[in-house]
Amino acid sequence: MIPLSVAELITVVRGEPHDIPEPPPRVTGPVVIDSRLTEPGSLFAALPGEHVDGHDFAVSAVAAGAAAVLATRPVGVPAVVVDDVTDALGALARHTVGGLGTTVVALTGSAGKTSTKDLIAQLLERTGETVWTPGSFNNEIGLPLTALRAVESTRFLVLEMGARGIGHIRYLTSLTPPRIGLVLNVGTAHIGEFGGREAIATAKGELVEALPSAEDGGVAVLNADDPLVRAMAARTAARTLFFGEAEDAAIRADNVGLTADGRPSFRLRTPTGCADVTMRLYGEHHVSNALAAAAVAHEVGMSATAIAETLSAAGPLSKWRMEVTERADGVTIVNDAYNANPESMRAALRALAAMGEAARARGGRTWAVLGRMAELGDDALAEHDAVGRLAVRLNVSRLVSVGGREAAWLDMGAKNEGSWGEESVHVSDAQAAVELLRGELRPGDVVLVKASRAVGLERVALQLADDAAGAVDGEVAAR
């Protein structure tokens, strides 16, 4: 964060000082919402949580070195009191980013945001100092916290933007106005809250509406293969740059294939040259993510060769997104349990099927351990049924559905699709899935674990990965 005095902080957030000593302290460290992360000079934002109130940790934060607390009431230590801490964080982010010369890159989409953001970050780091969204910190709290990590030397600020309703992205772009805006796709994530894909497209398109004009350097990077995203070109004054398989896409992939273990390879084509890419990530769906990231990198001046080299070396930066652990006993665990929607679930199953080709050559099988996809509204039954059926069509060896009603629909879809008998099993919870797999896994097996975040299915992957001390594949992000 750019250092500032408490007096400046008060002005920016329109707050009131309480218990500020003389001379007033300066905020020189990061903004934190967890008192355990406090460093000397930090600003501690006391947010109310689902189970705890940040105000209760204000004293310990200052004792650990925080210069001041951002709070909604006096807390007995140096504090700037505001009406709403979240709004104050937004105002502080707007002030900070507005004073920098950094290029803000924002991206959104129904699926693939975090993986694509991680690829963009690794590309842009080759060009200059880059700050990016950690994990999925893509809401009205996470985005300001990310933006406040930027300093004078930051050249690129890469921000993932999520939306659960109309107006959410418009608000986020008002805090950190982007010059480059990327829309990946419009799918069915949160369709139960939005009411339909057209409403989702309306919300996602708020990103391109916020871009500056082409004359002022605005660039909208759009998926040419998604009709709802392509149509967003009419909603922006920015220059448009298409990526995808369509012939008019400036950033394209030819000769797309998969390696024997399921990693995508392709020839990258850009307006300035071509180069071959073989990714470390798993699944053909990463080709589209890679093209989107390549389009951003091309826009900031990277050559096709540099882009291809970086994409070929890039790994996941965020946990539980297709993390691959190779156990010493020959079992492979694929932890993709951070979140799930119909599009990402289908992509993960196809990746599992591709990895299964090599598994079968070793005498192994493929296992899909799947749980509920949340926020699908009236489409929930059909979508879960369809995923179960897809597992059969892709010749997944065993499906283990975990949890309540929606998991039962997964199981029902698989059994209705084919004569699977015992190949599809419905269990009550994560621990039951772990016990089942512990008794069944054999060398060469590949296990995919995926569900919406609220299900907590990562516990299955983590326990199975820890069951045997194994060599960890280079794909595994640090936990």
Contact 336, 347 (CB under 8 A): no
Q: Is the pLDDT of residue 472 over 80?
A: no
474 band by pLDDT with thresholds 50, 70 and 90: very low
Is the same domain home to 247 and 184?
yes
Average pLDDT, the chain: 92
164 band by pLDDT with thresholds 50, 70 and 90: confident
Contact 373, 451 (CB under 8 A): yes
The predicted pLDDT at position 260 comes to 82
Is the same domain home to 453 and 335?
yes
Is the same domain home to 133 and 225?
yes
Long-range residue pairs from 226-232, CB within 8 A, at least 24 positions apart, any chain: 226/185, 226/186, 228/186, 228/197, 228/198, 228/201, 229/183, 229/184, 229/185, 229/186, 229/201, 229/204, 231/201, 232/183, 232/201, 232/204, 232/205, 232/208
Is the same domain home to 391 and 422?
yes
Q: Is 216 exposed, middle or buried (0-12, 13-18, 19+ CB in 10 A)?
A: exposed
Contact 321, 285 (CB under 8 A): no
CATH number at residue 59: 3.40.1390.10
Q: What is the pLDDT averaged over residues 163-181?
A: 95
Strands (E), 272-339: 273-278, 323-326, 332-335
Domain membership flag for residue 240: yes
Domain membership flag for residue 260: yes
Exposure string of 271-283, with b = 16+ CB inside 10 Å and e = fewer, is eeeebebebbbbb
The predicted pLDDT at position 420 comes to 58
Domain membership flag for residue 88: no
468 band by pLDDT with thresholds 50, 70 and 90: low
Phi, psi of 296 (to 5 degrees): -65, -45
Single-letter amino acid code for the residue at 375: E
Q: Is the pLDDT of residue 121 over 50?
A: yes
Domain membership flag for residue 92: no
Is the same domain home to 243 and 360?
no
Of 57, 83, 109, the residue that ends a domain is: 83
What is the rounded CA–CA span in Å between residue 132 and residue 302?
Answer: 18
369: its two tokens = 């351990």
pLDDT in tens, 410-425: 999 999 987 555 588 9
Domain membership flag for residue 294: yes
Of 24, 52, 83, the residue that ends a domain is: 83
479 band by pLDDT with thresholds 50, 70 and 90: very low
109: its two tokens = 């989409």
Is the same domain home to 353 and 445?
yes
DSSP three-state, residue 285: coil
Contact 316, 135 (CB under 8 A): no
379 vs 418, residue with greater confidence: 379
Is the same domain home to 400 and 276?
no
Is the same domain home to 167 and 250?
yes
The predicted pLDDT at position 119 comes to 97
Q: Is the pLDDT of residue 478 over 70?
A: no
Is the same domain home to 256 and 188?
yes
- The count of domains in the chain is 3
Is the same domain home to 124 and 240?
yes
DSSP 251: B
Domain membership flag for residue 352: yes
Q: What is the pLDDT averaged over residues 183-189?
A: 85
Domain membership flag for residue 358: yes
Q: Is the pLDDT of residue 463 over 90?
A: yes
pLDDT in tens, 273-331: 999 999 999 888 899 999 999 999 999 999 999 999 999 999 888 887 888 999 999 99
Owner of token pair 């001046």: 301
Percentage of the chain with pLDDT > 90?
78
Domain assignment of residue 79, given as a range: 4-83
Domain membership flag for residue 224: yes
51 band by pLDDT with thresholds 50, 70 and 90: confident
Q: What is the pLDDT averaged over residues 429-438?
A: 95
CATH number at residue 403: 3.90.190.20
Of 55, 83, 111, the residue that ends a domain is: 83
Angle separating helix axes 342-361 and 380-393, nearest 10 degrees: 20
The predicted pLDDT at position 339 comes to 86
Contact 184, 107 (CB under 8 A): yes
Is the same domain home to 331 and 372?
yes
CATH number at residue 141: 3.40.1190.10
Is the same domain home to 146 and 104?
yes
DSSP 468: S
Percentage of the chain with pLDDT > 70?
95
Q: Is the pLDDT of residue 235 over 80?
A: yes
